[in-house]
Amino acid sequence: MRTASVVVPIVVPVVVPVAVRGAQRAPAGNIEGLGSSLVDDKSGNTMRVVSYNLREHTAKGEIQALAEDNAVDVLCLQEADTNDIPDSFGAYTLAASTRNNRLGLAAYYRAERFELLGTQVYALKKSMHDRVMSPAHERLLAMHLHDRISGQDVLIGSFHAAPLTASNALRKKQVESAHGLMRALAPGVPMLMVGDFNYPWFHLGLKKRIERDGFTLTRSSTPTYLGYKYVKGHFDFATSYDLVIEDVVTLPAGVSDHRPILVRAQGLATA
């Protein structure tokens, strides 16, 4: 069954996690069934997270192969028709999805490795495009996960910023707000936020802005957007807190105008 998600406006200061599980946590350590591609040989705690904008759900048929071929731990989606996605596939379980967007967010996790402690969906400040076209106002889906390998918790967010018709200043505010809301969900927990930031140029300003709050911005070496002849750049990337990002890799293109990205992150100290 799908986990119900609650939309919390940005002005609400108190965040209450939903979908809390009462099961006893498994001890940290190796987990049967997790191959070497999932776990770093030295630290045993590398996470593999893929983010993919489905381009109005046209790439829906690619998600299972994308997750399995890249041995991911978490799969974050944008521009998904959340009424037309599976509750699970293979080793992956749907953590949550948005419900009020025409094109929404969704996230899957590997249940062998993670226990889902809670999810939350957030509405962020609207752009004029959002107000007129109403494509999306739920622009952040956050998951609070317990990592059975390290014995620690981690926050992972699927994020979709306002489109290019909005200003970079608005998108900076959306990113900052998203970071603050995730922190409020589980204070002090390492964080990774991936998605379509719609921020192909002038990354230095955004980088400096979020570094003031202790976050790091990491891009891949190659562009992630293929939609227009004269509009190319790094639309999709990662921001993180208290994690070490090994790399961000732009994966081969599918039917979407965005290319998926694979983020490999360390920093969950093995218990």
Reading the block at residue 114, the tokens are 């993670």
Better-predicted residue by pLDDT, 167 or 97: 97
The predicted model scores a pTM of 0.80
Q: Could you tell me how far CA 97 lies from the centroid of its own chain?
A: 12
CA dist 94 and 103 (Å) reads 17
Query: Tokens 């570094």 label which residue?
Result: 211
- C-alpha distance from residue 218 to each of 86, 106, 108, 253, 267 (Å): 30, 22, 22, 20, 15
Query: Residue 157: in which H helix or E strand, if any?
Result: strand 153-160
What backbone phi and psi angles, to 5 degrees, belong to 52? Answer: -150, 125
Region 35-55: what's the mean pLDDT? 68
Q: What is the pLDDT of residue 269?
A: 59
* Residue-wise pLDDT tens digits, 129-174: 454 445 557 999 999 999 999 999 999 999 988 776 667 788 889 9
Q: What is the pLDDT of residue 266?
A: 92
Q: What is the pLDDT of residue 247?
A: 95
- Residue 231 near residue 225, CB atoms below 8 Å: yes
CA dist 171 and 219 (Å) reads 17
Q: What is the mean pLDDT of the chain?
A: 80
Nearest to 161 by CA among 215, 203, 190, 213: 203
Better-predicted residue by pLDDT, 5 or 49: 49
Q: What is the pLDDT of residue 171?
A: 82
Which residues partner with 196 through β-bridges? 160, 236
* Residue-wise pLDDT tens digits, 187-205: 999 999 999 887 666 667 7
- Burial (0-12, 13-18, 19+ Cβ within 10 Å), 161: buried
* Residue-wise pLDDT tens digits, 103-137: 899 999 999 999 999 999 998 766 544 544 455 57
- Residue 19 near residue 96, CB atoms below 8 Å: yes
Fold that domain 39-266 belongs to in CATH: Deoxyribonuclease I; Chain A (3.60.10)
Domain boundaries, the chain: 39-266
Which residues partner with 119 through β-bridges? 18, 143
Q: What is the pLDDT of residue 146?
A: 97
Reading the block at residue 21, the tokens are 């599980």
